[in-house]
Structure 1
Amino acid sequence: MSLVLFAHSVFALPFAVIGFFLAIQTTDQPFEWQKLLLMLLCMVTARNAAMAFNRYLDRDIDAINPRTAMRDIPAGKISANRALAFTIVNCLIFMAATYFINSLCFYLSPIALFVVLFYSYTKRFTPLCHLVLGVGLGLAPIGAYLVVTNAFHIIPVFYGLAVMCWSGGFDIIYAMQDEEFDRENGLNSIPAYFGGKRALRISELLHVASFIFVLLPIFYMPVSWFYYIGVIFYGMLLIYQHRIVSPTDLSRVDRAFMTTNGIASVIFALFYLLDIIFLV
């Protein structure tokens, strides 16, 4: 749990739930507990694999960074080989779960794993690493929709883009803590490349885009006032995290990163589900 920061699953998981019930709401597909549980298993194992691999690959970097030196591998709590084995086991469980969902999910599973694992390499050669992370998390609502329908649709893509911009934006804020360390050690990040002030502006633009993407579905499906309330809460929490962080004061980054973003995704998903119930 500590190695993969299991509590952080709350970021993309609510959007996967949205993608799943969106498919049921907008098609004639029935609700099936088996598919829901398999989808949740895929979410957990893919994220476990991504986080464990990130910790495995970054173990030497983490060891020399004072902020991350106490992570499980550099601190000696878990060996690098066991972290890698944990990654492989989770990848195999993920692919096995997709096999029991449908053929499209199974055929796409190696691509999904490549995206979420490849992120760990990107800060070695591009400051766009935050967006690669966003793409990985943004697959959640799209993949969950595929679980039910075995077909693509534009609405889950909107939610995927919303997650991409949202998570990429808050990852930039989180990376501001390591701006000097990254620059000194040849690592790439938007804060290290552009500086903290400009990085925060880029994060703001990404969050504006995320807000727009959660609005776009209203032009493609009927919604009730519950949906609009969820969108308003989502936007307010995005604004709030930018109000409590500045380039000269990073003391509340953890609150912006974990608490605010976790609440934002959960509240938006809850109002989305209320919207479905109200419409029914």
Structure 2
Amino acid sequence: MSDAAFLPGASGGATRPGGGGGGQEHAVGHVRAFLRLVVIEHSVFALPFAYIAALAGSFAASGSVHWADLGLVTIAMVAARTFAMAANRIIDRAIDARNPRTAGRELVTGAVSVRTAVVGSVVALGVFLAAAATLSWLCLALAPIAVAPLVIYPYAKRFTDFPHAVLGIVQAAAPIGAWIAVTDHWSWAAFVLGLAVGAWIGGFDLIYACQDAEIDRRIGVRSVPARFGIRGALLGSTVTHVVTFALFVAYGLMENNGAWWWAGLAVTAAAFSYEHVIVSPKDLSRVNRAFLTANGFVGIALFAFALADLISRGLSA
């Protein structure tokens, strides 16, 4: 069970003896290996929804994009996710070593040392806190509330059958935090959007976790598929994504969104349907297609429609 698709490990970037640029190549190799460790490209899943909230907040506050704040939100989001993934990999490295699907991860194979992962996670946390402080004192004050679930999540599979719900709570913070970052105040609409994102990601984590149902039972990792079976997990994912869609509708109504937003939800509904059609209890061979393709598409497509909607209603650069 995992919050991100497994990518095979690779070389840690050893230097060539006697090479003049060996030290630099070694450092670059460590950085590349660390970025593989945290699967940096998967920031695409939550970042679009942070942008939706940030741009909607900017529109509500002044009618124009707050570019500096948007840049800081990007830095904070990527840094927070990098910290979370590094912490996850460090905490779970013994479990990963016992699962054939994850036994090739960088901390298991040694492509990345625990020391490098710890240093990388500390740097990422520092960047996140610095970005939060630059945004506002309120953002900095709320930062620990965002960080705590990031550390709790890897342990969730040890004490609850519903670690996917904890992951959802983690991801729900992105739109809420992004709205506060650009407006400096609370928004119930952003809260609803956060719930939608949390339900969306928790729902597709239920699908992804089905791959590990048998091995999780064997090694004592707790999850919905391990406890209730693959059929139960897929049913739970379907219900969760129906709730997700209802929350997207509620957000659109609360923000008085226009035709572009509703067109985006139609596309999202089609993507959700596709995701649930291609995976079944008897055939999990297309889980990665559902995880990577369908969910990556949902985030990017809905952001594009949300942006078009905001522009059509007067958002200016």
TM-score between the two structures when normalised by the length of structure 1: 0.98
* Identical counterparts, % of pairs: 41
1:72-114 C-alpha deviation (Å, 9 max, x unpaired): 1101100112111211111111111111101111001111011
Point out the structure with max Rg over C-alpha. Answer: 2
In the alignment, is residue 237 of structure 1 matched against residue 271 of structure 2? yes
Kindly indicate whether residue 81 of structure 2 is the aligned counterpart of residue 47 of structure 1: yes
Q: 2:103 aligns with which of 53, 69, 88?
A: 69
1:20 equivalent in alignment to 2:54:
yes
Higher mean C-alpha deviation, range 77-86 or range 265-274: 77-86
- Could you say which residue in structure 2 is the equivalent of 1:266? 300
Question: How many angstroms apart in 1 are the aligned matches of 2:233 and 2:252?
Answer: 31
| Structure 1 partner of 2:236 | 202
Q: 1-side partners of 2:53 and 2:36: how far apart?
A: 28
> Which consecutive unaligned segments of at least 5 residues does structure 1 have?
none
CA distance in structure 1 between the aligned counterparts of 2:239 and 2:276, rounded to whole angstroms: 11
Taking the aligned partners of 1:139 and 1:178, their CA distance within structure 2 comes to 27
Residue number in structure 2 paired with 1:122: 156
Deviations 1:224-259 (A, max 9, x none): 211111011111111111100011111000000111
Q: CA deviation at 1:30?
A: 5.0
TM-score, normalised relative to structure 2: 0.86
User: Match for residue 253 of structure 1?
Assistant: 287
Q: 2:186 pairs with 128, 134, 152, which one?
A: 152
What is the Cα deviation at residue 29 of structure 1? 6.8
Aligned length: 280
> In 2, distance between residues paired with 1:85 and 1:122?
24
| d(CA) in 1 for partners of 2:161, 2:141 | 30
Give the letter for the 2:136 counterpart: N
Deviation at 1:218, TM superposition (A): 3.0
| Shift >4 Å, 4+ stretches | none
Aligned to 2:208: 174
Amino acid across the alignment from 2:56: L
Shift, 1:222, TM fit: 2.4
Quick one: which of 246, 267, 275 aligns to 2:309?
A: 275
In the alignment, is residue 102 of structure 1 matched against residue 115 of structure 2? Answer: no
Q: 2:275·2:294 contact (CA, 8 Å) conserved in 1? A: yes
Partner of residue 133, structure 1 = 167
Distance 2:96 2:256 in 1: 47
CA distance in 1, matches of 2:269, 2:57: 24
Tell whether the 8 Å contact from 2:224 to 2:233 is kept in structure 1 after alignment. yes
CA distance in 2 between partners of 1:145 and 1:70 (Å): 38
Gaps of 5+ in 2: 1-34
Q: What corresponds to 2:258 in structure 1?
A: 224
CA distance in 2, matches of 1:247, 1:144: 37
Quick one: which amino acid aligns to residue 69 of structure 1? A
Q: Distance in 2 between matches of 1:192 and 1:38?
A: 39
